[in-house]
């Protein structure tokens, strides 16, 4: 059990590139913190610095109040689960899980008891005498977990531990990691590039981009009040819709029509100096609804009618896709997310709406969708700052 403090931790490589720039974070005891971001954002480097596998160029890392910058990984009492699992192929599952105890010179009886205990937590008891080569992907992942939990370390570090599993197993393991962490109450730092994993697992999420922290907060906070375009585009699936807008008297002109500025939005805009006329408007797909299904309060909403391109029915809800004319958002902040995910949807001239499953929406037909004008986010186009995030 430990508290981990990163105080202006910086990683500069020999060739001059700065992988992590002045990283500040206080991780409380028993907390589950997620580092998330596109590839190359420095999240794994940060994790490796906490582990001691990478040297810290500048700043200070404290575990339980003690500076550990110069402490070797083996003396930090931290366990790590690797993306590739990194199991010792010449050892059985029992020997793999027991390896940290063997190195710590724990006596045989205690070792056996602890390994059995860990195996039981992870449902590995029947496989203890097998070699890793004879296990399935999910079982190997659990052995890697077992090796981490067996010696009750101060903290767990996990480097994309689920990315090699297939989708169904990943969801399953996600739940069991969460359960194990809650049960053991061990401080955990978890690295992933998958925002769904980040949202579902973490107490707190740290979003990184190009070595810099973008925002730290609870999943709900990041979802509701993203501080900039990058965070807004990164969190949420499907991604937030972005359309260009022009602020005119008490409203924003967009391809979706004139969106009136609500009291809340007007006030937060007033809090900023030099709000430009041209802004980027962000609306989450969930903010939309089929207009025919909205009865009360419809007068306050904004409606938009267009031809539906594609409908995806998920059973519990439906996604309707619209094409928008002249509404492409060209932003460096969003381009980076697109590059990472390989998709071209974010910022593209298209609108994704999440509708109730009862909606009679059909592909190729016109549909009127409704949204609450208070649900919009207004971004400054150059810096990408969310002008409506509030304090």
Partner 1 sequence: MAITARQRSGWTVANIIVALYVLIPVVWILSLSLKDPSTFTDGHYFPRKFTFENYVNIFKVGGFGRPLINSIGIGLISTLIAIVIGTFAAYAIARLEFPGKRLMLGGSLLIAMFPQVSLVTPLFQIERSLGLFNTWIGLIIPYITFTLPLTIYTLSAFLREIPWELEKAAKMDGATPFQAFRQVIAPLAMPGVVTTAILAFILCWNDFLFAISLTSSNSARTAPAAIAFFTGASQFEDPTGSISAAAIVITIPIIIFVLIFQRRIVSGLTSGAVKG
Which residues contact partner 1 by CB under 8 A? Answer: 51-53, 72-74, 78-80, 82, 84-90, 99-100, 103-104, 131-135, 137, 140, 147, 151, 164
325, burial (CB in 10 Å: exposed 0-12, middle 13-18, buried 19+): exposed
Phi-psi region of 8 (alpha: psi -120 to 50; beta: other; left: phi over 0): left
What CA–CA distances, in Å, run from 70 to 4, 9, 55? 15, 13, 8
What CA–CA distances, in Å, run from 267 to 242, 252, 387? 22, 15, 10
Length of the chain in residues, anyone? 391
Cβ-based nearer residue to partner 1, 132 or 236: 132
Cβ-based nearer residue to partner 1, 93 or 252: 93
Cβ-based nearer residue to partner 1, 97 or 378: 97
Task: Provide, rounded to whole angstroms, the least separation between the CB of residue 14 and partner 1.
Answer: 9
Cβ-based nearer residue to partner 1, 47 or 208: 47
Task: Provide, rounded to whole angstroms, the least separation between the CB of residue 178 and partner 1.
Answer: 22
Task: Provide, rounded to whole angstroms, the least separation between the CB of residue 225 and partner 1.
Answer: 36
Q: Among 229, 226, 346, 343, which Cα is nearest to 285's? A: 346
Task: Provide, rounded to whole angstroms, the least separation between the CB of residue 103 and partner 1.
Answer: 4
Task: Provide, rounded to whole angstroms, the least separation between the CB of residue 98 and partner 1.
Answer: 10
Cβ-based nearer residue to partner 1, 70 or 88: 88
Cβ-based nearer residue to partner 1, 94 or 151: 151
Task: Provide, rounded to whole angstroms, the least separation between the CB of residue 140 and partner 1.
Answer: 7
Task: Provide, rounded to whole angstroms, the least separation between the CB of residue 197 and partner 1.
Answer: 17
Reading the block at residue 187, the tokens are 């401080």
Cβ-based nearer residue to partner 1, 72 or 167: 72
d(CA 223, CA 36): 14
What CA–CA distances, in Å, run from 36 to 23, 165, 178, 197? 14, 18, 17, 9
Task: Provide, rounded to whole angstroms, the least separation between the CB of residue 54 and partner 1.
Answer: 10
d(CA 239, CA 286): 10
Task: Provide, rounded to whole angstroms, the least separation between the CB of residue 130 and partner 1.
Answer: 9
Q: Among 3, 9, 87, which Cα is nearest to 45's? A: 9
With both helix axes pointing from N to C terminus, report the angle between 137-149 and 167-184 in degrees, rounded to the nearest 10. Answer: 20
Cβ-based nearer residue to partner 1, 102 or 272: 102
Reading the block at residue 147, the tokens are 């090796």
Residue corresponding to tokens 């267009």: 306
Task: Provide, rounded to whole angstroms, the least separation between the CB of residue 80 and partner 1.
Answer: 4
Cβ-based nearer residue to partner 1, 102 or 266: 102
**Bridge partners, 66 (sequence order):** 63
d(CA 220, CA 329): 26
Q: Among 174, 1, 180, which Cα is nearest to 78's? A: 1
Element (DSSP H or E) covering residue 213? strand 212-217
Cβ-based nearer residue to partner 1, 177 or 320: 177
115, burial (CB in 10 Å: exposed 0-12, middle 13-18, buried 19+): buried
357, burial (CB in 10 Å: exposed 0-12, middle 13-18, buried 19+): exposed
């Amino acid at each position: 059990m430990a508290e981990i403090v990163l105080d202006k931790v910086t990683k500069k490589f020999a060739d001059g590139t700065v992988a992590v720039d002045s990283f500040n974070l206080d991780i409380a005891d028993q907390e589950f913190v997620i580092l998330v971001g596109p590839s190359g954002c420095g999240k794994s480097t940060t994790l490796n610095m906490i582990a001691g596998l990478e040297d810290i160029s500048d700043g200070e890392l404290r575990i339980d109040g003690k500076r550990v910058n110069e402490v070797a990984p083996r003396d930090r009492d931290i366990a790590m689960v690797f993306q590739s699992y990194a199991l010792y192929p010449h050892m059985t599952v029992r020997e793999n899980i027991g390896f940290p105890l063997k190195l710590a010179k724990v006596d045989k009886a205690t070792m056996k008891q602890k390994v059995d205990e860990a195996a039981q937590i992870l449902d590995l008891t029947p496989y203890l005498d097998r070699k890793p080569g004879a296990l399935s992907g999910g079982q190997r992942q659990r052995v890697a977990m077992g090796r981490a939990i067996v010696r009750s370390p101060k903290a767990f570090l996990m480097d994309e531990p689920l990315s090699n599993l297939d989708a169904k197993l990943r969801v399953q393991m996600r739940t069991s990691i969460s359960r194990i962490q809650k049960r053991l109450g061990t401080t955990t730092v978890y690295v992933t590039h998958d925002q769904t994993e980040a949202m579902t697992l973490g107490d707190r999420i740290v979003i990184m981009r190009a070595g810099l922290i973008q925002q730290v907060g609870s999943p709900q906070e990041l979802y509701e009040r993203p501080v900039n375009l990058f965070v807004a585009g990164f969190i949420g699936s499907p991604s937030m819709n972005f359309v260009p807008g022009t602020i005119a008297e008490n409203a924003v002109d967009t391809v979706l029509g004139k969106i009136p500025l609500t009291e809340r939005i007007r006030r937060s805009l007033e809090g900023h100096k030099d709000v430009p006329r041209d802004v980027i408007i962000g609306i989450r797909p969930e903010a939309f609804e089929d207009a025919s299904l909205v009865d009360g309060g419809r007068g306050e909403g904004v409606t938009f009618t267009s031809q539906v391109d594609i409908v995806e029915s998920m059973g519990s809800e439906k996604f309707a896709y619209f094409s928008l004319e002249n509404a492409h958002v060209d932003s460096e902040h969003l381009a980076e997310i697109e590059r990472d995910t390989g998709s071209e949807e974010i910022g593209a001239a298209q609108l994704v709406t999440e509708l109730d499953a009862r909606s009679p929406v059909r592909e190729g037909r016109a549909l009127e969708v409704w949204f609450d004008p208070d649900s919009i986010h207004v971004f400054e186009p150059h810096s990408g700052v969310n002008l409506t995030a509030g304090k």
